[in-house]
Amino acid sequence: MMELSIALFISSLLMLSVLGSYSFLGRSLLRTGYAAQMESSTRTALYDFTSDVSLASSISTATASQIQLTTGGNTVVYTYSSAAGTLTRAVTVGTATTTTTLLNGLTTLSFSFFDGGSNSVTAASSVKLVSLAFTTAAGVATSGTRASLPIQSARVLMRNKGYLQ
């Protein structure tokens, strides 16, 4: 009888360790999946952002949470909603506006604006360089599956704006 209880105890310990390893690997796999998904959406958002800023000829709104660009007669507006945790891109061509959500799960986001000499500016008319910094997260912290990705873009030059404008 004693041998049976010892064998039961040892097999229980073995099963608990296997279950713990399985749980750890499952959470790790979820975090890896979330990280890959965030990196993919981040690359797309940064590509759109850098393309639009590079092509912009002027900026009419320049705040920490919104930027409005004029590109070839079209208007492009990037807006960060801290309540929803989203970055949206609205493109207006003529009278038609198309809005796309570029990023979800944002915990922070800010636009930074600089003049031609890389000095920080607040007036939209003085902006020549723009950068974007944000942190995106996915998963659930209490279950151990939360993944977070901080991003800082390079300063993007508005190529179609005159240097002294």
The total of structural domains in the chain comes to 1
Q: With respect to residue 163, please indicate whether it lies within any of the assigned structural domains.
A: no
Range(s) of the domain holding residue 90: 2-157
Task: State the pLDDT at residue 144.
Answer: 64
The residue among 87, 79, 82, 132 whose CA lies nearest residue 107 is 82
CA–CA–CA angle 99, 101, 105 (5° rounding): 155
Q: With respect to residue 146, please indicate whether it lies within any of the assigned structural domains.
A: yes
Q: With respect to residue 165, please indicate whether it lies within any of the assigned structural domains.
A: no
Q: With respect to residue 48, please indicate whether it lies within any of the assigned structural domains.
A: yes
CA 134 to chain centroid: 6
Task: State the pLDDT at residue 51.
Answer: 93
Are the C-beta atoms of residues 125 and 107 closer than 8 Å to each other?
Answer: no
Q: With respect to residue 95, please indicate whether it lies within any of the assigned structural domains.
A: yes
Q: With respect to residue 137, please indicate whether it lies within any of the assigned structural domains.
A: yes
- Each residue's pLDDT, cut to its tens digit, for the chain (165 residues) gives 788 888 888 888 888 888 878 777 777 777 777 777 778 888 999 999 999 999 998 899 889 899 999 988 899 999 999 999 999 999 999 899 999 999 988 999 999 999 888 899 988 888 999 999 998 887 766 766 677 788 898 899 888 776 655
Q: With respect to residue 162, please indicate whether it lies within any of the assigned structural domains.
A: no
